Structures are given as structure tokens and as C-alpha cells.
């Protein structure tokens, strides 16, 4: 399974020529589906303004006063050519700078050729969509590295190409998409390293992990999964641990100083703790700390499962973590205008299909953990990765009880873990059971893909 020439393994076919033809057809279908997804996302990006989704965006600076938020951070780096002296003085300036440096480089280029500041941020939005396309590509490559069945590969390609989270992340001007891109690459390279423990792969893995940390420190949530894969591999090769031990040491030598450089800088210069988060205002209009726990973890409110956006006049109706998770993974906090009854109905279909598919994915992940026919390193990587990401999200949502903290922005990574587990389960199934599961997942993936593309393309 680990060799590149086995990405399309149709060894069950007796006719070698027929198998090769099917390989080519599958590859063509995958490329067309991926290209269509990219095309649809770019149409969406061209339609919407750079501030379609706020998320600590801040305001454009007048070049006299430094503004808070991600826009101000980008302009600060462009204007002063240095990092801020007091990282916590502005709301988002504590973040690692990689995304904002990329944005400042785009700003320098666009302004040099006479563009306006607003046009610059439109181009930065386009840059973010490139990051989304790359992340989708590596999600597909991860599936091809771990899943053998051609039908599963094609179905999962369709989901990653059209799922709503990439329409959302690709148009947000913040560091979430870049971090998610590097984390997706990290998962792909970890799978590659499991199959082929080369020195080149361990260096690339260390760099991708570190660059994810320099995009947003939340990338550290993948550390337990990658670390346990390393420890298991070391234990498995305990009779001759030399090469693995040296590769792990090289990973640490590259990744740790580079990945932690920004948080160490902030700690040394400004005394900012590693897990620093700006204080939330209890009078912000989003505070839900007074909502009973039963309402937060029980059944979602009717508004959460029937609307495509948050009604801020009734924000306490959005205090349920599960309902808010499913709402924001399909519509962010409301970036699709619902102007007609038909669009409202389509939004409900997408929301429910997305939620059902996600819950089915969790069931598939749990089943995969107990499949001895699945390689242990894969089980460790997928299960630990999902558990850590989910636990980090839930912990953050309850430590900072605000409506906005229940926006699971890293859900794209958990989608990759869950659906890869489903594809690997399908490889192990035979007969009627396999066909039933394939039809169920195909049905919901088809609904999510079609309604996601339709709603986001018909944004106006």
C-alpha cells in the first residue's frame, strides 16, 4: 500500500489492461472533481467581499493609527517592517506571524502596482483560497495513501472538493486556513512516514509541523497523535531502534525550536504565557456563562437546527455546543443570505446532512479502532488526532463561554480523520454490508456536495 505505484491498486481484476484503463479513468474523474471544487470555490471568492466573515478581523488602518485585528496586524507588518513591540497590546497581535507576513507581502506587491488597500485584502482573500485548495489536495492524497478501493477514493474526493468548510475557511482573512493547510500536510506526511521511514520525509514532516505552529499555535493539537505514532514505531522496532530514534531526534531538532520560536519570544520579551488567549468580555453580547449546563450539552434549540445564521437578538438560543458546531461547520456564523423559503429549506437539508454524515464518521472511527486488520499506526494517528482536536475544542468552548468559541474552525481536520477511517473500514468490508455503507455515505456526501456548491455559488 505504501508505494506510489500502488495508489491505484486494482489487482482484483484479471485483465491487466482493463485495470490500467480503470486506473486512468479513476484518476481523470478525481482530477475533474477536484478541479470543479476549486473552480466553484474561486467563483465564491470572487463574489464575496474580504470581510464576509469577521472573526477578529478588525478594521483597515488609516496609516496613522494601528488598528486591532488581523487586518491591522497585516498592515502593521507592511508599514513598520517589524514585529510589534508589545504583542498583547492589540487583540490579535499575539498570534504567530506567518499568515500575516504572507499577507504583508501581497500588500506590498499590490500597492506597488497602484492597487488600493481594500483591493489588497481582496487579493489576500484569494491567497487564502489557494491555501484551501492545497489543503483539499493533500486531504485527497491522504485518502489515496490509505484507502485502496476506487469507489471510496472517488466518493471522498467529492466530499473534500465540495464540503462547505473550505468555502468558509478559504474566504476568511485570518490564520485558520494556513494552519489547517499545514496540519493537513502534516497528517499526509505522517502517513507517508509510516509507510516509508525516510530521512527526507522526517525533515519535511518536522518543517510542516513547525510552519503550522508559526501560523497558529493550535497546530500543537496534532502533537499527541504524531508523538504516539513515533513512540509506537520505536516500541515496534525496539530490538533495532537506532534509525527510528535518530529520525525522531532529527524531527525534534528541526520542529521544536522553529515551532516554538514565536511563543518563546512572547514569553521572554513580554511575559505572555504559551496558552495565552485575550480576555473575553462578559458584557460582549455573546456571553453564555449563565446558561445552564443542561442547555449547553443537551439538545440544540429549534433555531440552531432550522436557521442558516445566528440571530444575535436571541443569542442564548445558540448556547448548545453540538448545535452550534453543526451550524458553523456548514454556514460559519451566517455568511449565506437566506432570502427565500426555498433557500431556507436547502440550508436545512445541508445542515442536517452535514451533521448526520459527521456523526456517522464518528461511528466509523470507533469501529476502525477495533479493526486489527487496520495497521496500528493508522489507528493511533486517526483516533488520537480526532480525540485531541475534539477535546481541545470542547475544553475551549467551556472555558470561554461565548457563542463565538463554539465555532469549530479545525473541523476540516477532523473530517479528514473520520472519512479516512471510513475508507479504511470499507477496504475491510465485503458483501452486502459494504454496499449498504457505501450507498449511505454516497447519499449524504452527494447531498452535502450538491447543496453546499449550490448555496455558496448562489450567494447573492
Q: pLDDT digits over 158-200, tens only?
A: 999 999 999 999 999 999 999 999 999 999 999 999 999 999 9
pLDDT at 2: 43
Q: Answer yes or no: do 214 and 352 share one domain.
A: no
Q: Answer yes or no: do 129 and 3 share one domain.
A: yes
pLDDT at 455: 92
pLDDT at 12: 43
Q: What is the mean pLDDT of the chain?
A: 91
Q: 3-state class of 374 per DSSP? A: coil
Query: Rounded to an integer, what distance in angstroms lies between the CA atom of residue 446 and that of residue 426?
Result: 18
The answer to whether 93 and 66 are in contact (CB under 8 A) is no
pLDDT at 5: 38
Q: Is 222 a domain residue?
A: yes
Query: Rounded to an integer, what distance in angstroms lies between the CA atom of residue 230 and that of residue 248?
Result: 7
Q: Answer yes or no: do 151 and 47 share one domain.
A: yes
In total, how many domains does the chain have?
3
pLDDT at 201: 97
Identify the residue with better confidence: 45 or 284: 45
pLDDT digits (tens, 9 = 90+) for 224-257: 999 999 999 999 998 889 999 999 999 999 999 9
The answer to whether 40 and 453 are in contact (CB under 8 A) is yes
Q: Is 283 a domain residue?
A: no
pLDDT-derived band at 13 (thresholds 50, 70, 90) equals: very low
Q: Is 159 a domain residue?
A: yes
Q: Answer yes or no: do 426 and 451 share one domain.
A: yes
Q: Answer yes or no: do 354 and 226 share one domain.
A: no
Q: Answer yes or no: do 422 and 310 share one domain.
A: yes
Range in 22-36, 41-55, 86-100, 257-271 the model is least confident about: 86-100
Q: Is 286 a domain residue?
A: no
Tell me which residue of 234, 208, 233, 232 sits closest to 222, measured CA to CA: 208
pLDDT-derived band at 24 (thresholds 50, 70, 90) equals: confident
pLDDT-derived band at 274 (thresholds 50, 70, 90) equals: confident
Q: Answer yes or no: do 264 and 307 share one domain.
A: no
Q: Is 282 a domain residue?
A: no
The domain boundary, picked from 241, 276, 311, lies at: 276
The answer to whether 331 and 308 are in contact (CB under 8 A) is yes
The domain boundary, picked from 140, 170, 200, lies at: 170
Q: Answer yes or no: do 316 and 456 share one domain.
A: yes
pLDDT digits (tens, 9 = 90+) for 281-297: 787 788 999 999 999 99
Query: Rounded to an integer, what distance in angstroms lies between the CA atom of residue 6 and that of residue 406?
Result: 41
The domain boundary, picked from 150, 170, 190, lies at: 170
pLDDT digits (tens, 9 = 90+) for 89-145: 667 889 999 999 999 999 999 999 999 999 999 999 999 999 999 999 999 999 999
Q: Is 285 a domain residue?
A: no
The answer to whether 137 and 128 are in contact (CB under 8 A) is no
The domain of 204 spans 175-276
Q: Answer yes or no: do 235 and 257 share one domain.
A: yes
Q: Nearest 5 degrees, angle CA 283-CA 284-CA 289?
A: 65
pLDDT-derived band at 459 (thresholds 50, 70, 90) equals: low
Strand partners, 287: 402
- Looking only at Cα atoms, what is the longest distance across the chain? 72
pLDDT digits (tens, 9 = 90+) for 345-376: 999 999 999 999 999 999 999 999 999 999 99
Q: Answer yes or no: do 322 and 272 share one domain.
A: no
Q: Answer yes or no: do 397 and 446 share one domain.
A: yes
Q: Stretch 41-52: mean pLDDT, rounded?
A: 93
Q: Answer yes or no: do 127 and 248 share one domain.
A: no
Query: Rounded to an integer, what distance in angstroms lies between the CA atom of residue 244 and that of residue 264?
Result: 28
Q: Is 198 a domain residue?
A: yes
Q: Is 166 a domain residue?
A: yes
Amino acid at each position: 500500500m505504501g508505494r506510489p505505484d500502488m495508489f491505484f491498486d486494482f489487482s482484483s481484476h484479471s485483465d491487466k489492461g482493463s485495470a490500467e484503463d480503470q486506473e486512468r479513468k479513476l484518476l481523470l474523474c478525481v482530477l475533474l472533481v477536484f478541479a470543479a471544487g476549486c473552480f466553484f470555490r474561486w467563483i465564491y471568492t470572487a463574489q464575496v467581499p474580504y470581510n464576509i466573515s469577521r472573526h477578529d478581523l478588525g478594521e483597515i488602518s488609516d496609516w496613522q493609527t494601528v488598528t486591532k485585528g488581523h487586518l491591522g496586524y497585516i498592515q502593521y507588518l507592511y508599514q513598520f517592517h517589524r514585529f510589534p513591540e508589545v504583542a498583547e497590546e492589540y487583540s490579535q497581535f499575539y498570534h504567530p506571524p506567518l499568515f500575516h507576513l504572507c499577507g504583508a507581502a501581497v500588500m506590498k506587491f499590490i500597492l506597488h502596482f497602484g492597487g488600493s488597500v481594500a483591493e489588497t485584502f481582496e487579493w489576500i482573500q484569494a491567497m487564502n483560497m489557494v491555501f484551501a485548495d492545497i489543503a483539499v489536495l493533500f486531504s485527497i492524497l491522504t485518502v489515496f495513501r490509505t484507502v485502496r478501493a476506487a469507489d471510496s477514493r472517488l466518493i471522498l474526493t467529492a466530499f473534500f472538493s465540495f464540503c462547505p468548510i473550505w468555502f468558509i475557511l478559504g474566504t476568511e482573512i485570518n490564520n485558520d486556513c494556513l494552519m489547517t493547510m499545514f496540519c493537513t500536510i502534516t497528517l499526509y506526511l505522517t502517513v507517508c512516514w509510516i509507510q516509508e521511514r525516510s530521512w527526507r520525509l522526517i525533515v519535511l514532516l518536522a518543517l510542516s509541523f513547525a510552519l503550522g505552529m508559526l501560523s497558529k499555535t493550535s497546530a500543537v493539537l496534532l502533537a499527541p497523535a504524531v508523538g504516539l505514532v513515533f513512540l509506537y514505531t520505536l516500541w515496534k522496532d525496539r530490538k533495532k531502534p537506532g534509525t527510528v530514534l535518530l529520525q525522531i531526534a532529527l524531527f525534534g531538532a528541526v520542529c521544536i525550536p522553529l515551532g516554538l520560536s514565536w511563543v518563546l519570544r512572547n514569553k521572554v520579551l513580554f511575559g505572555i504565557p504559551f496558552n495565552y488567549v485575550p480576555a473575553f468580555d462578559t458584557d460582549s453580547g455573546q456571553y453564555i456563562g449563565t446558561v445552564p449546563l443542561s442547555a449547553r450539552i443537551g439538545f440544540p434549540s429549534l433555531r440552531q437546527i432550522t436557521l442558516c445564521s445566528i440571530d444575535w437578538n436571541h443569542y442564548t438560543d445558540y448556547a448548545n455546543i453540538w448545535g452550534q458546531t453543526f451550524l458553523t461547520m456548514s454556514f460559519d456564523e451566517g455568511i449565506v443570505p437566506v432570502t427565500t423559503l426555498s433557500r431556507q429549506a436547502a440550508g436545512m437539508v445541508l445542515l442536517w446532512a452535514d451533521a448526520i454524515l459527521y456523526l456517522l464518521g464518528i461511528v466509523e472511527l470507533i469501529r476502525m479502532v477495533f479493526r486489527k486488520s487496520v495497521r496500528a499506526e493508522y489507528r493511533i494517528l486517526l483516533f488520537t488526532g480526532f480525540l485531541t482536536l475534539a477535546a481541545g475544542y470542547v475544553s475551549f468552548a467551556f472555558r470561554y463561554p461565548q457563542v463565538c468559541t463554539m465555532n469549530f474552525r479545525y473541523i476540516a481536520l477532523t473530517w479528514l480523520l473520520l472519512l479516512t477511517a471510513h475508507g479504511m473500514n470499507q477496504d475491510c468490508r465485503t458483501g452486502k454490508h459494504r454496499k449498504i455503507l457505501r450507498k449511505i455515505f454516497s447519499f449524504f456526501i452527494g447531498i452535502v456536495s450538491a447543496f453546499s456548491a449550490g448555496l455558496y455559488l448562489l450567494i447573492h
